[in-house]
Amino acid sequence: MKALIVTLLPIFVLYGVIYLFAWGALHFYQTSKNGRRSPLSHKLLRAPGQTLAGQVEDITVELNGDLAMLFLLPFSIFSLYLVQVHWGSLKPSLVNVGGHTLIGLATMVFVAKRLHSRLKTRNLLRLGLEAEMAAGQELNHLMLHGCHVFHDFPAEEFNIDHVIVGPSGVLAVETKGRPKPDKGRGAMDAKVIYDGEALRFPDWNETKPLQQAKRQAVWLSKWLSSAIGESVTAKPALALPGWFVERTKPGDVLVFNGRSPQFLAKPGREGQLSPEIIQRISHQLEQRCRDVEPVAYRKENKKQAGAK
């Protein structure tokens, strides 16, 4: 028994130190908020890539959990083996040691594969987030031309990356981040051809982003028409940040690379929206987009704490 305690003592000490540091950090964080509150009394507007930023944060937490599991698994398997040997009926042998080792290795391989998958997913999410941020920052310049710009507009079980309202009408903009091939072909590796029906990338073709942009514009048209009591038609647009877009034929979707979007503020053939309609549409959009709660110095109310 004494030998077992001596063997397990370093592991218990390690876990105890980890727990104390985690508890201490959480305690000091909570007490640092006492006697203070946020100066912000209203909700914030959604930022470009708001939803993707949350997904990146969530998957990063999961990745940290996988890394911690990989670190703690050998100690856990070793502790389990010692407990079974000293307190159970397991006898020390190469077979038993090998069995526990195989179990540990199999578990670590599973966690490592999941870690690899999550890393790939996070990289794709980051690309999408950066593309939305890049397009959103450029589209914000349209405010100088009398447009209202909203980002990450929450619809029904999906989000519209950007919504633009101005004299030229309403645009529902979908943004896609696509990595470029690096094959030394110069401009060919950076060009996408839009023929009115599909996106012809250097090594692949896509139609789903175009279909998605059109579906979102249809939904936004119906929702806005219902919200303001007048017919509103939202036009679909697709931004591909970083790509050179060559349009060979006209199509139902406006495809551009997100840079220098001032042309979107120019009136089209359909005519201009009146300032009154622009204001009514923008009011409805803002009401739906202003849903971000400030988190600094946020305190849980008693009902939420009791529910937990």
Here the tokens at position 267 are 């009136």
pLDDT at 303: 46
Helix (H, G, I), strand (E, B) or coil at 163: strand
Q: Share the mean pLDDT of the chain.
A: 87
pLDDT of 11 reads: 64
Q: Is 60 exceeded by the pLDDT of residue 304?
A: no
Long-range contacts of 108-112 (CB under 8 A, 24+ apart): 108/70, 108/73, 108/74, 111/66, 111/69, 111/70, 111/73, 112/70
- Main-chain phi, psi angles of 283, to 5 degrees: -60, -45
Tell me what the mean pLDDT of segment 278-305 comes to.
Answer: 82
Confidence class for position 25, pLDDT limits 50, 70, 90: confident
For residue 232, give every residue at least 6 positions away whose Cβ sits within 8 Å of its Cβ, in sequence order, or none.
170, 221, 224, 225, 277, 281
Q: How many CA atoms lie within 13 A of 155 on its CB side?
A: 20
Give 237's contacts (C-beta < 8 A, 6+ positions apart).
Answer: 171, 172, 173, 174, 213, 253, 254, 255, 256, 264
Highest mean pLDDT among 35-49, 99-113, 120-134: 120-134
